[in-house]
Structure 1
């Protein structure tokens, strides 16, 4: 019985202890869960996984990214697992880089409209993949991946990349997986992939590639997977028919389905290097020949390499045909069209030895040896620009095989060679570009314009001289008119005397019948009446002697003397009035003449000064224009010279003329053209 109670007590005690322990465990679990939820950075979601912890953060803007990055680092420090980080946010949120993260299991920045900048991933170590897909990236700036410590895979799918150059993947030597699918890549320049010596998979599906050369890969590369599906692929270039020339091993998978492959002799090396193509090719049913017509629709895996043929290229059309005269600084597109099977590629050789080709990755080694050049010396675009040189020339070889030259220089004249080549051979055509300078027509136009200007100035000078002569003549004319006014005064004075005397009827002495005034002043000695038998001169002063006359005669003599005296007074008064009037009129006339003379003198002086100033200014302007054209012609002659592609120095001499002081100064500038 006691043992039963002992067992019962032990059972009750065990249940109690189990309950207490379960309560403590629940409390600890809730505490740990609360701690994890609290430590997860703001605006982030954290989800622990196997081998890593997933963190999804939505960063609102560029200003919040440094704080969020610090929180992520603090959260990672409390975890025993690496973080698989996925970030979302606006386009410019992460331009400051990701160097604060240091080490991650993976980094996903896809579909954020991310803008790549140099050194963006400096100091970052990623054990897994770096996902940059869906960001509409058009180009990879130089130095984007410089300083990245490690990354296993790079995903750039679903972007807008057009070309890959030698600096696109610099710093990614340890990348093993590269996804470039669903872009618009048309050309991969030689050396773009050669630094990835550990590459194991490459996806170039759904791009716009027309050719691909296996020389792109490092000799040590062996791919597990390589896809060129759904491009515009016509040729695969391989320099040897040995298996070692292909970057494959026995378990490799190669997909070139859904292309427009030309089954020519250029494909023979590829088929010979793969003894059993069906073991390597994926989607064999869709890996078909597009040309020639007799092989259209046949599977490449079933072809006999010995039956594949090529046709040597032949140039059937070019522009210009042989020779072309071109104005310096203008632009031109040189065209070269060739036939052959497979379709030939076009290589351009300039007069100074530069080589241009749109896709330089598939130049045969034999052609490179004949040209004594390396693939690195062949460019698809080059800009000729030097310091202190105003003009910039661009030369580019486009996808159609045309050579586009913008703002051609005078030293770029000469023979341009169009070289068409394919695996069956090559052919060439020479085009001669002769450049002429527009300064000749400008010089002729300047002479014509100068002649017109000189004629205009000559006519203007004649007009000014004629006006000056007229004004001088008027001055002399007015000067000689002045004495004639003084001479005319006597005539004016005499006229009224004669008129008054004639109106008196010659019966009443000195009386004007119209005025009724008998006090008219007329000179008795000069007044005559044509119809009177006697003249007024008979009135003379008589000397009367006292006692020599009788009373009757004395009364008569007194009357006549008084009358004669009154008449003389009247005549003297009239003469005084006329004299005053004439003097006043003469004075007014003299003032008018003096005013006219002064006005004419001022007017002539103003015309003279204005004409002289205008003539001097125009003379200085013409001299300045002639001297400027003269010195500019020398500089343009240097620009339009026919020298080698070396350095040309242009000396620009400008003659500046101060119109007011008529002082001249020269300004010399030197510019060097390459």
Structure 2
């Protein structure tokens, strides 16, 4: 009995020492849970000689700058790797290609600036969940990530988290090579709009999280893109929506869309009178937008033509007034001369009328008076027939 107890004690001792020898420096290895933990050990590189039984590797809070192509070798059993908050800035080609059974990869909280196009390429496409929240360093890294998602062969990816990366835009077709993607998290970014074709190829998407971004409204292209996703769960809350007339199309979409939207969280942030008001069911009068009259057609082109015509007529009028101003002296002289001519003609008519109606006048005296009138009238006929004259005046001037 004593011999058996001694052998048992020695076996436990040797096994314990063997396990401690296998575990990398600064890490803790647990054979029962098949996990390895290297937390806040200030490691400059990823630990080597990880036990072959490990299924879960947790390396967080270290100072690892780069993931090499041979960082993980002979680890066929590993299914979960957590590499968050390690200050990782670069991923080489085929960084995880040796992990043929990898299902879950967490790279959150890093500073990825250089990502090789085939950094996420794993034979057989086993990866199902990829966490890149707060991990993309700048816009250049976003371009690298888009290329890595395209060339990574991630056809089996089901869940992708890109939250907290200060993304201002999403390139069209960024997720087109993830045909089986079911959950996409884009919350806590700086997105202001969604371009047409952004979610093309994601036919199996079930959840889209766009909450806590910079959306003030959604234009027609964005609403059309969201409408293509079908009856999925869409989170749109905690955005700074401006409830003006421009948001009318979005309100109509909320009321008519078949998608499952978190309408309770979709609320106005401005103007002040509508702060915290729920968008769904918001009337057009409330947002300062008058509904168009039935049958009324607003032709912007026609309105523009009227404005242009008014400008042209105004310009012509100004030119006409300017020409009159330049010829003001000549016009004044011409008007005065015409006035005097008309006055003399009327005086001649009046004088002849008096002569014709006076029975005491002899025919001889009348003839002499007519000759006087003839000279006066013919002198002003040189100005042209400005006013109509009778046939009698013309006969007088012709000597008849």
State if a TM-score over 0.5 links the two structures: yes
8 Å Cα contact 1:98/1:124 also seen in 2: no
Quickly say closer, same or farther: Cα 1:169–1:49, change in 2 above 3 A. Answer: farther
Q: What is the rounded CA distance, in whole Å, between the counterparts of 2:177 and 2:255 in structure 1?
A: 27
Mapped pair 1:221 → 2:203: yes
8 Å Cα contact 1:122/1:145 also seen in 2: yes
Corresponding residue of 1:450? none
Residue number among 129, 132, 157 corresponding to 2:133 in the alignment? 157
Q: What is the rounded CA distance, in whole Å, between the counterparts of 1:202 and 1:210 in structure 2?
A: 17
Q: What is the rounded CA distance, in whole Å, between the counterparts of 1:273 and 1:198 in structure 2?
A: 27
Q: What is the rounded CA distance, in whole Å, between the counterparts of 1:196 and 1:265 in structure 2?
A: 33
8 Å Cα contact 2:176/2:202 also seen in 1: no
Unaligned runs of 5+ in 1: 1-16, 312-423, 426-674
Alignment of 1:459-608 (within 5 A): none
Quickly say closer, same or farther: Cα 1:110–1:198, change in 2 above 3 A. Answer: same
8 Å Cα contact 1:195/1:218 also seen in 2: no
Residue number among 62, 69, 83 corresponding to 1:109 in the alignment? 83
Residue number among 263, 266, 291 corresponding to 1:287 in the alignment? 266
**SS state at 2:38 partner:** strand
**SS state at 2:127 partner:** coil
Q: What is the rounded CA distance, in whole Å, between the counterparts of 1:272 and 1:245 in structure 2?
A: 16
Q: What is the rounded CA distance, in whole Å, between the counterparts of 1:25 and 1:306 in structure 2?
A: 84
8 Å Cα contact 1:162/1:186 also seen in 2: no
Mapped pair 1:37 → 2:20: yes
Corresponding residue of 1:200? 182
> Greater share of strand residues, 1 or 2?
1
Corresponding residue of 1:256? 236
8 Å Cα contact 2:188/2:211 also seen in 1: yes
Residue number among 278, 283, 286 corresponding to 1:299 in the alignment? 278
Quickly say closer, same or farther: Cα 1:143–1:94, change in 2 above 3 A. Answer: closer
1:121 to partner: Cα distance: 1.9
Residue number among 114, 119, 135 corresponding to 2:110 in the alignment? 135
**SS state at 1:300 partner:** coil
8 Å Cα contact 2:239/2:266 also seen in 1: yes
**SS state at 1:212 partner:** coil
Corresponding residue of 1:98? 71
Corresponding residue of 2:97? 123
Q: What is the rounded CA distance, in whole Å, between the counterparts of 1:244 and 1:154 in structure 2?
A: 26
Q: What is the rounded CA distance, in whole Å, between the counterparts of 1:223 and 1:306 in structure 2?
A: 36
Quickly say closer, same or farther: Cα 1:35–1:139, change in 2 above 3 A. Answer: closer
Relative to the length of structure 1, the TM-score reads 0.35
Quickly say closer, same or farther: Cα 1:60–1:53, change in 2 above 3 A. Answer: closer
Quickly say closer, same or farther: Cα 1:82–1:146, change in 2 above 3 A. Answer: closer
Alignment of 1:172-191 (within 5 A): 172-191=154-173
**SS state at 2:67 partner:** coil
Name which one, 1 or 2, has greater alpha-carbon Rg: 1
Q: What is the rounded CA distance, in whole Å, between the counterparts of 1:108 and 1:203 in structure 2?
A: 18
8 Å Cα contact 2:90/2:115 also seen in 1: yes
Unaligned runs of 5+ in 2: 291-299, 302-400
1:24 to partner: Cα distance: 5.0
Alignment of 1:250-649 (within 5 A): 252=233, 254-262=234-242, 264-268=247-251, 270-272=253-255, 274-275=257-258, 280-281=261-262, 284=264, 286-290=265-269, 297-303=276-282
Quickly say closer, same or farther: Cα 1:242–1:90, change in 2 above 3 A. Answer: closer
The answer to which of 205-214 and 180-189 deviates more is 205-214
1:244 to partner: Cα distance: 6.5
Q: What is the rounded CA distance, in whole Å, between the counterparts of 2:38 and 2:121 in structure 1?
A: 26
| Aligned-CA RMSD value | 4.0
Quickly say closer, same or farther: Cα 1:227–1:244, change in 2 above 3 A. Answer: closer
- Count of aligned residue pairs for this structure pair: 278
- 1:540-570: per-residue Cα shift (whole Å, max 9, x none)? xxxxxxxxxxxxxxxxxxxxxxxxxxxxxxx
1:177 to partner: Cα distance: 1.8
1:190 to partner: Cα distance: 0.5
Alignment of 1:13-28 (within 5 A): 24-28=7-11
Corresponding residue of 1:211? 193
1:138 to partner: Cα distance: 4.6
8 Å Cα contact 1:84/1:107 also seen in 2: yes
Quickly say closer, same or farther: Cα 1:281–1:248, change in 2 above 3 A. Answer: same
Relative to the length of structure 2, the TM-score reads 0.56
8 Å Cα contact 2:240/2:268 also seen in 1: yes
Q: What is the rounded CA distance, in whole Å, between the counterparts of 2:71 and 2:288 in structure 1?
A: 54
